């Protein structure tokens, strides 16, 4: 007989109690703002391939070509992290890109992918294996970041998975996101599989969206792990999200903190959510809710959020992102 840990047993019991009240809802289309699709351009940098790039508080220099090379993880701040294994710094050509290229050497990630810093090593390995087995997919297959992860995971060896997971798990996650409620937000376009503010400074209604923008786009494009973001969320989202996280609501939601711990800092098999990209979190909630992400650890979550509306998902993600 399979035995559950006390934390897992409590998690399952809480979710089963809510299962009978969960209401099936029509499947909405993936929210376009959470799934930006890059226009067909080459690379994310501009200018000559040999031109040098710089970021604040760093003496390092990298060329545009190096910043665009997915087998290079620019190390702008060596003092911010321990020595990284080769799978993180350079990957393994031709099939495995450097983990630190997309997720940054400090594990900060961005709206287009996961922040890995501080995730339990076992959790990271489980996600990679779910990618390998086709249990973790994407609602929009034309987006490069998740399809690249599916391809990379299938080529990773067990020692490479373990080395990357151990490295990222010991990195302390740093606060990089400021969450602001706003009815009016900058007009945006897609750049590098994320949103970017239009150059003309125009504004528009936020609607039912999260608009997450780099404060200094060129620093984030240079793969600087210290780059910061501002996430604009609809008015009232934080209060609504706080209710969902801490006490649930009248829609058969299980309070998020029961599984993910106080302050959403993680508990047992449930990963920490505090301070993570709200765009990324919204995508994961949508994909779990609609069966695009599966697996043993995801099944209880699917029950817990079955009845949440898209506004609820936005609110929960906004509140989680606002936490330190």
Query: Which tens digits make up the pLDDT trace of 25-63?
Result: 556 899 999 999 998 755 445 568 889 999 999 999 999
Sort residue 181 into left (φ over 0), alpha (ψ -120 to 50) or beta. Answer: beta
Range from 17-21, 38-42, 310-314 carrying the lowest mean pLDDT: 17-21
Closest CA to 106 of 175, 193, 192, 174: 174
* Range of the structural domain that residue 15 is part of: 6-30+236-322
One DSSP character per residue, 37-80 reads ---S-S-S--S-TT-EE--TT----EEHHHHH-TT----S-GGG
Residue 21 covered by a domain: yes
Predicted structure pTM score: 0.90
Q: Could you tell me what percent of the chain has a pLDDT over 70?
A: 88
Sort residue 163 into left (φ over 0), alpha (ψ -120 to 50) or beta. Answer: alpha
Instruction: Identify the pLDDT of residue 220.
Output: 97
Residue 187 covered by a domain: no
pLDDT in tens, 84-94: 999 999 999 99
Q: Tell whether 117 and 157 lie within a shared domain.
A: yes
Q: What kind and span of H or E run contains 214?
A: strand 211-214
pLDDT in tens, 136-151: 999 999 999 999 999 9
> Total structural domains in the chain?
2
Q: Tell whether 26 and 117 lie within a shared domain.
A: no
Residue 70 covered by a domain: yes
Residue 98 covered by a domain: yes
The number of residues in the chain equals: 324
Instruction: Identify the pLDDT of residue 7.
Output: 45
Looking at 131, 149, 169, the residue that finishes a domain is 169
Residue 316 CA, chain-centre distance (Å), reads 14
pLDDT in tens, 242-265: 999 998 865 556 789 999 999 999
Q: What is the CATH number of the domain that holds 245?
A: 1.10.760.10
Looking at 169, 186, 221, the residue that finishes a domain is 169
What sign results for the dihedral spanned by CA atoms 140, 144, 150, 151? positive
Instruction: Identify the pLDDT of residue 46.
Output: 55
Q: Tell whether 58 and 161 lie within a shared domain.
A: yes
pLDDT in tens, 182-225: 999 999 999 999 999 999 999 999 999 999 999 999 999 999 99
Instruction: Identify the pLDDT of residue 52.
Output: 96
- Mean pLDDT across 70-89: 98
Looking at 169, 185, 218, the residue that finishes a domain is 169
Could you give the CA distance from residue 26 to residue 203 in angstroms, rounded to a whole number? 32
Residue 175 CA, chain-centre distance (Å), reads 14
């Amino acid at each position: 007989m399979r035995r559950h840990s006390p934390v897992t047993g409590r998690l399952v019991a809480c979710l089963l109690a809510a299962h009978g009240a969960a209401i099936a809802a029509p499947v909405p289309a993936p929210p376009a703002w959470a799934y930006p699709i890059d226009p067909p351009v080459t690379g994310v940098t501009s200018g000559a391939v040999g031109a040098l790039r710089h970021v604040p508080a760093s003496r390092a220099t990298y060329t545009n070509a190096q910043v665009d090379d997915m087998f290079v993880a620019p190390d702008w701040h060596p003092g911010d992290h321990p020595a990284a294994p080769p799978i993180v710094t350079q990957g393994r050509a031709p099939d495995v890109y450097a983990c630190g290229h997309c997720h940054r050497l400090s594990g900060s990630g961005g709206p287009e992918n996961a922040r890995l810093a501080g995730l339990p090593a076992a959790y990271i390995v489980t996600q990679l294996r779910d990618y390998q087995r086709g249990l973790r997919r994407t609602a929009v297959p034309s987006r490069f970041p998740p399809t690249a992860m599916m391809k990379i995971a299938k080529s990773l060896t067990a020692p490479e998975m373990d080395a990357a997971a151990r490295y990222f798990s010991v990195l302390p996650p740093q606060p990089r996101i400021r969450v602001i409620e706003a009815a009016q937000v900058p007009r945006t376009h897609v750049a590098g599989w994320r949103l970017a503010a239009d150059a003309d400074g125009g504004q528009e209604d936020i609607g039912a969206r999260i608009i997450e923008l780099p404060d200094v786009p060129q620093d984030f494009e240079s793969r600087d792990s210290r780059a910061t973001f501002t996430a604009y969320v609809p008015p009232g989202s934080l209060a609504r999200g706080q209710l969902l996280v801490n006490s649930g609501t009248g829609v058969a939601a299980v309070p998020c903190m029961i599984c993910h711990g106080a302050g959403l800092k993680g508990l047992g098999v449930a990963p920490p959510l505090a301070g993570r990209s709200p765009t990324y979190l919204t995508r994961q909630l949508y994909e779990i809710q609609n069966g695009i992400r599966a697996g043993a650890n995801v099944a209880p979550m699917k029950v817990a959020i079955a009845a949440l509306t898209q506004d609820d998902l936005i609110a929960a993600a906004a509140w989680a992102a606002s936490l330190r």
